[in-house]
């Protein structure tokens, strides 16, 4: 499977949470390494390439917890 990216962020988790017409909505978990340490983000995403409402984290555990919470809140 090809690596999915959003700019410099690798998408390491995703879950489809709904559809409206031809549009697919999902929650995604992104990751990147920097010289200052790891960074994590949870975004909403439409159509596998429109990322929005990102919240950024320094710790993987917190990001994964928030990813799961957002999925539960977003299922349509």
- DSSP 8-class letter at 75: -
Say how many domains are in the chain: 1
Provide the residue range defining the domain that includes 26: 5-74
DSSP 3-state of 70: helix
Instruction: Tell me the pLDDT of the chain (76 aa) as tens digits.
Output: 689 999 999 999 999 999 999 999 999 999 999 999 999 999 999 999 999 999 999 999 999 999 999 999 998 5
pLDDT at 2: 83
pTM of the model: 0.93
pLDDT at 76: 58
DSSP 3-state of 69: helix
- DSSP 8-class letter at 7: T
Question: By C-alpha distance, which of 38, 28, 35, 25 is closest to 6?
Answer: 28
pLDDT at 75: 81
Question: By C-alpha distance, which of 51, 44, 52 is closest to 71?
Answer: 44
């Amino acid at each position: 499977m090809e690596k999915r990216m959003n700019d410099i962020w690798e998408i390491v988790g995703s879950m489809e949470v709904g559809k409206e017409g031809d549009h697919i909505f999902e929650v995604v978990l992104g990751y990147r390494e920097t010289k200052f340490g790891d960074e994590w983000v949870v975004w909403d995403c439409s159509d596998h390439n429109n990322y929005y409402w990102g919240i950024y984290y320094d710790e993987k555990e917190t990001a994964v917890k928030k990813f799961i919470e957002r999925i539960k809140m977003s299922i349509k």
